[in-house]
Structure formats: C-alpha cells, structure tokens
Amino acid sequence: MNNLKSVSVQIVNSDLALLLPNGVYEIKQMESKSSRLKQICLFCLALCIFGIFGFGYFCPDKVCALSSRETIYIEDNIGKPLAQTKTKVGLSYDDMLNDDFTFDMDSHDVMVFLHMQKTGGTSFGKHLVHDLDLRRPCTCPISRKRCHCFRPHSNQSWLFSRYTTGWKCGLHADWTELTSCVDAKLDDLETVAKRRYFYITLLREPVSRYLSEFRHVQRGATWKGSRHFCGGRLATDREIPPCYEGEDWEGVNLDDFIGCKSNLAANRQTRMLADLELVGCYNKSYMSKGERERIMLASAKKNLLSMAFFGLTEYQKISQYIFEETFNLRFAIPFEQNNSTVSSNTLNSLTTKQSEDIASLNNLDIELYDYAKKILFQRFEKVKSRDADFEERFKNLGVIYGKQSPTEFDWDKLEDPTESP
Ligand SMILES: *[C@@H]1O[C@H](CO)[C@@H](O)[C@H](O)[C@H]1NC(C)=O
Ligand SMILES: *[C@@H]1O[C@H](CO)[C@@H](O)[C@H](O)[C@H]1NC(C)=O
Ligand SMILES: *[C@@H]1O[C@H](CO)[C@@H](O)[C@H](O)[C@H]1NC(C)=O
Ligand SMILES: *[C@@H]1O[C@H](CO)[C@@H](O)[C@H](O)[C@H]1NC(C)=O
C-alpha cells in the first residue's frame, strides 16, 4: 500500500479535528478570544500584502477585466469538491453564495450526486432529472433507462448521477471512489479541458437509515455491484468478509444483521463521506481502531463542508430551499416530507439491547449527523439572510408559475431491476 496518502494537517474548523502528519490526532479546542483577534489582524495584514502584490501578479491585462470566472477555471480543483476555505484554488461554499456566482450549466460546471443507500437519494435523484425548471429540460428516453441532462448548447451532461451517467464510478460510489474517478469518466465521454465540480449529497438520521437498510437487505438487496475501490484497488474479501453465503441475505433477522462485524451498514455515512485513503482504506491493520474511527469522522466532517449542497432527509423543505438558493435553480415540485416511514414501526419493536447495539454501531454516523444538522441550519440562516423574499419563497417552494404540474412520467419504466436502489 504505497500509494496511500499520509495523513495530512487539516485544520478544519476551530472545533474540528486536527490531523497531524505522523498520524496523531488531536481535538483542537476553540481558541481564546485574544489569539483569535491576533489571527484576524495577521490575516488582514496578509490579505493587504497579498492584495498589493497579488493583484499585479495574478491579474495581468485581459484576465482582470471582468471575467473573474475565467481565473477560477484556470485554477480549478479537478475532480474534487469545493475548497474548504476561501483560497485561490477553486470555489468555497461562501464563494457560491456571492451574488456573482452562477452554476454555469452552459459551460464547465458539473454536479456530482453522492448517493448513499437509504437516505432518500432515489427520490432526490428523480427530482433532479425530472423536476428542475431548466432552459433545456432533461429528456428521458424510455429505451435508455436514463435521462439526458445536457447543457443548453451541447450534448454534454451537467449532472453526474445514477439517472444520467449511470453508476459510472461503481454502484453507490462513495467520496473516495467519486473523487478519484469522475473526471476520468467524463473525459471518456466528452472533450472538455477543465470542469468545476459541485458535490451534492443527502444524509439521514442514522438509526432510521440503518433499519431501512436492514429491511432492504432482508428483502434481498445486496449492492453487490459496489466496488469499494480505494488506494488504486478493490477491497478484498479478507478486508470485507461477506456477511452471508450464497446469493443474498434475504430473510436475515435483525440480530444477525447487527452481529456481522463486516456489515457495511454500520457507520455507512461516515465511511462513504470520508477520504478512506487516510486510514489505509479497508485494511484495518493499517492503524488502531480508535485512530481509524477518529480520522474517518474528522475527514467525513471536512468533506461534508466541501459539499456544494447537502440535505437532510428529515428536513426536506429546508433542504430544497438551500439547494435552490445555492444553485439558483428551482424545482417545479415541493419535496415531500415522509415522516411516518416504515422504520418507525421497527423502531418501536426494538429490544433495549438492539437499540443500544445499533446506536453504538453507528456512533460515528450519529456524531456526523449532529454536525450536519448544525451546518445545515447555519447554511439555512445564511441563504435566508440574503433573500429579501424569504417568507414568500419558502411558502411557495416548488411553485413555478406556468409550470405547476410537472409532466406525467412513469418512473417504473425507467427503473433498472439489476441495480438495486
Ligand atoms: C414520500 O412518499 C411519496 C409517496 O409515498 C413518495 O412518492 C416519495 O418518493 C417519498 N419521498 C421520499 C423523500 O422518500
Ligand atoms: C444532440 O443530440 C440530439 C439528439 O439527442 C441531436 O439531434 C443533436 O443534433 C445533438 N446536438 C449536438 C450539438 O450534437
Ligand atoms: C495492511 O496494513 C499493514 C500495516 O501497514 C501492512 O503491513 C499490510 O501489508 C497491509 N495489507 C495489505 C493487504 O495491503
Ligand atoms: C412531518 O413532521 C413535521 C414535524 O414533526 C410536521 O410539521 C409535518 O406536518 C409532518 N408532515 C406530515 C405530512 O405529516
């Protein structure tokens, strides 16, 4: 495993994890006010100096005219999500909220949907291809079982997702797989020199998600097509021993599901959002369990912040609003909130032991979800504060005049039975 990354220093948020080069991990506490003040002063000073010299250096003649967009393309962050903070390289989330930001569907921008199992991603993925109010709407030829979501003036896809490009980077590809694959796959499809990537995803309350996955597997789903590609190779059966023999795990009971140590349902969201190369991929002997878990969680939180959009299944309306405001796109349908999903039945019939086991198996996801909730509401406040028509907009989410009822569409005809959702 020589092509793994060494753990790098990642100062994320003041209350986030600090990963040191020797693999040691520390929680960085909130700094004291005075040191923070000092930092701000230093930062301002640096900014001034950079401004004076940087302007002349980075902005020779034509570039600086009006096209700040051009410079972004030149220094893009190929195949990667947003930059963590404001930097010269690529956009950050705050940059996206600037008035002059547009998701440039006509040129180099690509949305990449990281779809984790049982987070409501299937409905969301359908809304993306079917309900967005676009200059050139997606078309969904039945014969192809997928949709074309093309740029207005070329037949190139602006959306990388199951229902457009297909599972090009593997079934339910995770962060590690997508970031090492999307750019190359799109290069195979089209000749575009540079692209900007906007990663989007959904998270769900971890216990409900876990139970939902359990029921799905009990009904026979396997996600066998998932590759678990990391560090340049597929995970081996020794690294992820199968939980069952034979074709699938149909009819499994909850205790057996919980009992399988290599069951990827546990802490799935953290694993799928983390950069697994930091922890030696699926090689559990690469570092201690505690260290592995802490680094994965810190990495997942960091990558969450780099998502141009993430929604929470439990907050459909807020998620829809944030998506629309961030990308300046509108859905012609209000997202539905399904409160009483099947899992509430299962939830009530759990024994105390089962509840405890599930919570402890998903400890990282529970922390990640709490964090995601905090960030979601921060983002909500931020976009809300820039929106003079908030009340009206929020009340009429999904209503677009002249486009009140989306066209009839038979999704069952589009469903591909070989790819379990
Ligand atoms: C909510 O339920 C409706 C009707 O059962 C379904 O069509 C829709 O996909 C569900 N939405 C989500 C996010 O699960
Ligand atoms: C795009 O595809 C459509 C059919 O889907 C075709 O009619 C059209 O000529 C194509 N346009 C370009 C620019 O390739
Ligand atoms: C897993 O990691 C250990 C410790 O770094 C290493 O010795 C071992 O060769 C690795 N296993 C594989 C399959 O790469
Ligand atoms: C879902 O739950 C929220 C908050 O618990 C509630 O406000 C909303 O009315 C519920 N929606 C439905 C369709 O039951």
Q: Phi/psi class of residue 29: alpha, beta or left (left: φ > 0; alpha: ψ in -120 to 50)?
A: beta
> Could you tell me if the CB of 2 is within 6 A of ligand 3?
no
Find out whether 215 and 182 touch, Cβ atoms under 8 Å. no
Q: Which of 108, 172, 216, 228 does the annotation list as catalytic? A: 172
> Could you confirm whether 216 is annotated as catalytic?
no
pLDDT in tens, the chain (421 residues): 444 565 543 434 433 444 444 443 444 433 444 556 667 656 655 655 555 444 444 443 333 333 333 333 334 456 677 876 555 556 788 888 887 788 989 888 999 999 999 999 999 999 999 999 999 999 988 777 789 999 999 999 999 999 999 999 999 999 999 999 999 999 888 877 688 999 999 999 999 999 999 999 999 999 998 999 999 999 999 999 999 999 999 999 999 999 999 999 999 999 999 999 999 999 999 999 999 999 999 999 999 999 999 999 999 999 999 999 999 999 999 998 876 555 566 778 899 999 999 999 999 999 999 999 999 999 999 999 999 999 999 999 999 876 655 555 555 555 443 443 3
In the chain, domain spans = 76-414
> Could you tell me if the CB of 285 is within 6 A of ligand 3?
yes
Q: What is the pLDDT of residue 207?
A: 95
Q: What is the pLDDT of residue 14?
A: 36
244 Cα to the center of ligand 3, angstroms: 25
Q: Pull the structure tokens for residue 184.
A: 């190359």
Alpha-carbon distance of 217 to 346, in angstroms, equals: 14
204 Cα to the center of ligand 1, angstroms: 14
> Could you tell me if the CB of 123 is within 6 A of ligand 1?
yes
The pTM assigned to this predicted structure is: 0.80
Q: Pull the structure tokens for residue 311.
A: 């929604």
| Beta bridge pairs of residue 112 | 160, 199
Q: What is the pLDDT of residue 343?
A: 58
Q: How many CB atoms lie within 10 A of CB 289?
A: 8
Residue nearest to atom 6 of ligand 3 (CA): 286
Q: Pull the structure tokens for residue 180.
A: 């090492």
Alpha-carbon distance of 218 to 49, in angstroms, equals: 61
Q: What is the pLDDT of residue 40?
A: 60
Q: Which helix (H) or strand (E) element contains residue 326?
A: helix 316-327
Q: What is the pLDDT of residue 80?
A: 77
Residue nearest to atom 4 of ligand 4 (CA): 339
CA distances from 277 to 105, 110, 301 (A): 32, 24, 15
- Probe target for ligand 3 pocket from 286, 289, 291, 292, with the most ligand atoms within 8 Å of CB: 286
Closest-approaching ligand to the CA atom of 154: 2
